Structure 1
Amino acid sequence: MEYSFGPLIDENSKILILGSLPGVRSLAEARYYAHPQNKFWKIIYGAWGKTPDADFDARYRFILGHGLALWDVVKCAEREGSADGSIRNETPNDIPALLAAHPNIRRIIFNGGFAFAKYKKYFGAPAIDYRKVLSTSPACAGRDREREEMWMEALGRSL
């Protein structure tokens, strides 16, 4: 069984970014989006014209300082490797409780179709504004421009 991390969120968070389940590298380092080929940090910092900090604590401060929050749809699951398609026997995180506890969240951004599909499976369509964007995972290679445009649109309306 693999387990996701707790949410990175505070009272100023307005956008919740939901992934599926951290990959092998992220789990090993106990850090969100730790694989160097994952485009997450480049895209998030790029939305503000910045270059990602090397230090993950600084990255987390950046997330919170810009009204963002991070979590995953899947709390725990069986999985071989890092591919979302390998996730089996999953249990979801209690996202409705998180949203109830943080009423300032105005939008959810789903980092990939898998996260969105699992959210809908367990909770139905989101009751707040949401965007489903191309995954930042290295598995979603070759669509960098389209991915960045989707992320900029999803982040930009609430900036």
Structure 2
Amino acid sequence: MKPRLWFLLGGICAVLALVIALVMIFSTGTGPRGYVANHYQRAAHLDLRGDDDNRAYTSPLTPSVVSREITSRWQPVAQAADTSGIYLRYKDDAVIVQPRDRGSVIHVMDVDHAYHRYHSHVGGTWGWIGTHGESFRGRGPGAGK
């Protein structure tokens, strides 16, 4: 009877460990949005108005260091940089890293909203983003005429 008890206790411990591991994996978030949320200080007062999907974060590090940290973990589809900041485009999200005081402000938002807001900074490098996420390359006869 004692070996059955040990197997039962071992099974319960294994299930408990699995549950804890799954909670840890899924609570940390994935992708650039989750990475930024887990590594930088949330700054809700810096969220951009008019975009409910936007989340602002801060870092004491410079924009170039912050963008290097993010891109070393999550490779962007496209990126642009100018004196106003560093613009990282991902499949569904955009990460905008701009200087603020002696550090950076990091905005994570939907890629379409980011494109429309920062078109003058990213238009030539990100390309046009349609409502379905495709790049504008013609789309067939009669499209756009």
TM-score w.r.t. the length of structure 2 is 0.24
Q: Which has the higher helix share?
A: 2
